[in-house]
């Protein structure tokens, strides 16, 4: 197991190093699909330059990173490339832990053999490290890679059973971008399942553990926020980072749905629709937790997918994060409907994004509608990917339970 993993690591690091040194690095770090106003490296450098000039980085509207990030890069700005490669490495450590979640059953054609299961972490690592989206994100030095690493570490600690570390890492992930807040529920459900505490609102043990975990999480969040305040001496970073994420003032095109919607929004309805769109991300937590309370790992995957699609400034790095989870459900591959169609849609959109961007911005022969259409299609494809995965997961559960052929009466 160690040998193929090491080989994979070497290949991944080589690809990234080669691309870092080539002239493509400049080109990639300017692409709007890969970087967004929240996590562009150019803006981090700009924030550091403003700090050197004696101006607060949050006094303008260019820099939207958290203060801890400034101080991290203040010291490592020359070695930034190494930081990003290392964070990619951390990511796949957690994949080992997924094995412990699998049920053992004797229905062989529905499950993978133990031999297959052995290779899942390697497949997951491969899916992430060699995914072109991740490579682009890393070469562009987008801080999305760091966010992904923190989320991966959080999942690792959760699966390993360490509640305190998991709480701290989740607080760190929430501090970076507010959306991982929704991952609190699946983590909680996982711990409850692991400790054999039934999810019953009337049981005191449930509340006891929930409060414990919530306290650890909220406590670490408060500590981290307080630390940021003391680092820079003001609360400016809160409207600059969190206010920016929620109110979406910057309409730079990206692969998400927000930018064109708010560029063409009537002023009167702007506040209403911002609230609706932001609520849309957090809204699915409770219903999904109720439905999937026995499968917290799948719930984590669903939450990450929802965040990646409906967040205010998505990039391909976020897409790569949930795509890396797909090999963990390789037992579903046989049953995935329309998978060919959906993957073709995603591939075609990924290819068309730079083409239509060039036609709009540089050639002047297309207009913003072309790029917007591809955005719509890409997001539609992503929605189809994870709803299909979920659907086949439900089917698989039923088959496994009933071991009979199924006639599913759906749409």
Partner 1 sequence: MLILSSLLLFILLAAARDEFQEELVIRPLHSGDIYASFQFRTLWDTDFLQEGQKVSHYRLFPKSLGQVLSKFSVRELHISFTQGFWRTMQWGQPFIPSPPGAELWVWFHDTVSDVDGNWKELTNVLSGIFCASLNFIDLTNTVQPSASFKPLGLGNATDHRFLRYATLPREIVCTENLTPWKKLLPCGSKAGLAVLMKSEKLFHSSFHSQAVHIRPICQDEQCSSKAWELRQTLNVVFDLHTSGQGKKEWSLFKMFSRTLTEACPLASSSKVYVDITDNPELFELSPATPLLGQAVVLGDRRTYSVYDLIMPTSSMVLSPCALGDMLRPLLHAERYVAGFGLQTGEIHTVIYNNHPYRAFPVLLMDSVPWYLQLYIHTLTVTSKSRDNKPSYIHYQPAKDRHRPHLLEMLIQLPPHSMTEVTVQFERALLKWTEYTPDPNHGFYVGSSVVSALVPSMVAMRTNFTQDQPLFSSFVPVKEESSYFVRVYTEPLLVNLPTPDFSMPYNVICLTCTVVAVGYGSFYNLLTRTFQVDEPSPPLSKRLANLIRRMRGVPLLT
Residues that bind partner 1 in the complex, under the rule CB under 8 A: 30, 32, 42, 45-46, 48-50, 53, 55, 59-62, 249-253, 257, 259-267, 277, 280, 284, 287-288, 291, 309-310, 360-362, 364, 367-369, 372, 376, 379-380, 383-384, 387, 390-391, 394-395, 398, 402, 404-411
- Our CB check for partner 1 shows the closer of 213 and 372 to be 372
- Our CB check for partner 1 shows the closer of 32 and 70 to be 32
Shortest Cβ 250–partner 1 spacing (Å): 7
Q: Taking a C-beta distance cutoff of 8 angstroms, is the pair 400, 110 a contact?
A: yes
- Our CB check for partner 1 shows the closer of 206 and 380 to be 380
- Our CB check for partner 1 shows the closer of 260 and 322 to be 260
Shortest Cβ 209–partner 1 spacing (Å): 25
Q: Taking a C-beta distance cutoff of 8 angstroms, is the pair 326, 389 a contact?
A: yes
Q: Taking a C-beta distance cutoff of 8 angstroms, is the pair 382, 314 a contact?
A: no
- Indicate the SS3 state at residue 31: coil
Six-digit token string for 337: 């409907």
Shortest Cβ 394–partner 1 spacing (Å): 6
Whole-number Cα distances in Å, 205 to 116, 213, 222: 38, 12, 25
- Our CB check for partner 1 shows the closer of 11 and 263 to be 263
CB-hemisphere CA count at 13 Å for 7? 6
Helical (H) or strand (E) element with 282:
helix 270-283
Six-digit token string for 258: 């927000």
- Our CB check for partner 1 shows the closer of 205 and 252 to be 252
Q: Taking a C-beta distance cutoff of 8 angstroms, is the pair 68, 231 a contact?
A: yes
Q: Which residues neighbour 354 within 8 Å (Cβ) at sequence distance 6 or greater?
A: 31, 33
- Our CB check for partner 1 shows the closer of 13 and 391 to be 391
Q: What are phi and psi of 62, to 5 degrees?
A: -100, -35
- Our CB check for partner 1 shows the closer of 162 and 368 to be 368
Shortest Cβ 349–partner 1 spacing (Å): 13
Shortest Cβ 315–partner 1 spacing (Å): 16
d(CA 319, CA 322): 6
Shortest Cβ 248–partner 1 spacing (Å): 11
Six-digit token string for 149: 């690493």
Q: Which of 83, 73, 62 is nearest to 20 (CA)?
A: 83
Shortest Cβ 365–partner 1 spacing (Å): 12
Straight-line distance from the first to the last Cα atom of the chain, in angstroms, rounded to the nearest whole number: 43
Shortest Cβ 379–partner 1 spacing (Å): 5
- Orientation angle between helical segments 184-194 and 204-232, nearest 10 degrees: 140
């Amino acid at each position: 197991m160690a040998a193929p993993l090491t080989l994979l690591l070497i290949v991944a690091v080589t690809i990234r190093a080669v691309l870092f040194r080539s002239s493509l690095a400049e080109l990639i770090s300017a692409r709007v699909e890969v970087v967004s106003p929240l996590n562009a490296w150019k803006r981090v450098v700009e924030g550091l330059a403003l700090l050197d000039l004696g101006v607060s980085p949050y006094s303008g509207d260019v820099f939207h990173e958290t203060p801890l990030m400034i101080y991290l890069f203040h010291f490592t700005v020359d070695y930034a490339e190494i930081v990003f490669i290392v964070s990619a490495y951390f990511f796949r450590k957690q994949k080992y832990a997924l094995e412990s979640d699998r049920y053992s059953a004797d229905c062989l054609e529905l499950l993978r053999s133990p031999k297959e299961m052995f290779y899942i972490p390697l497949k997951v690592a491969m899916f992430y490290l060699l995914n072109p989206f991740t490579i682009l994100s890393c070469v562009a030095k987008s801080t999305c890679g760091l966010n992904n690493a923190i989320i991966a570490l959080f999942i690792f600690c959760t699966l390993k059973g360490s509640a305190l570390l998991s709480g701290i890492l989740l607080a760190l992930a929430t501090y970076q971008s507010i959306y991982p807040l929704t991952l609190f529920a699946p983590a909680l459900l996982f711990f409850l399942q692991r400790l054999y505490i039934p999810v019953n609102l009337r049981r005191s043990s449930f509340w006891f553990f929930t409060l414990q975990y919530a306290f650890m999480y909220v406590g670490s969040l408060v500590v981290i926020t307080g630390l940021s305040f003391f680092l820079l001496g003001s609360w400016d970073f809160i409207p600059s980072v969190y206010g920016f994420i929620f109110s979406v003032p910057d309409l730079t095109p990206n692969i998400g749905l927000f930018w064109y919607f708010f560029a063409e929004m009537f002023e009167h309805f702007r506040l209403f629709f911002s609230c609706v769109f932001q609520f849309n991300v957090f809204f699915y937590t409770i219903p999904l937790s109720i439905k999937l309370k026995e499968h917290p790992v799948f719930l984590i995957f669903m939450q990450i997918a929802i965040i990646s699609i409906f967040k205010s400034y998505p990039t391909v790095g976020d897409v790569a994060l949930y795509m890396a989870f797909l090999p963990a459900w390789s037992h579903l591959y046989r049953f995935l409907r329309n998978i060919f169609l959906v993957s073709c849609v995603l591939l075609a959109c990924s290819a068309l994004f730079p083409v239509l961007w060039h036609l709009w911005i540089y050639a002047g022969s297309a207009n913003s509608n072309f790029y917007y259409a591809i955005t719509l299609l890409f997001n539609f494809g992503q929605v189809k990917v994870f709803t299909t995965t979920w659907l086949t997961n439900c089917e698989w559960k039923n088959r496994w339970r009933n071991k009979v052929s199924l006639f599913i009466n759906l749409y």
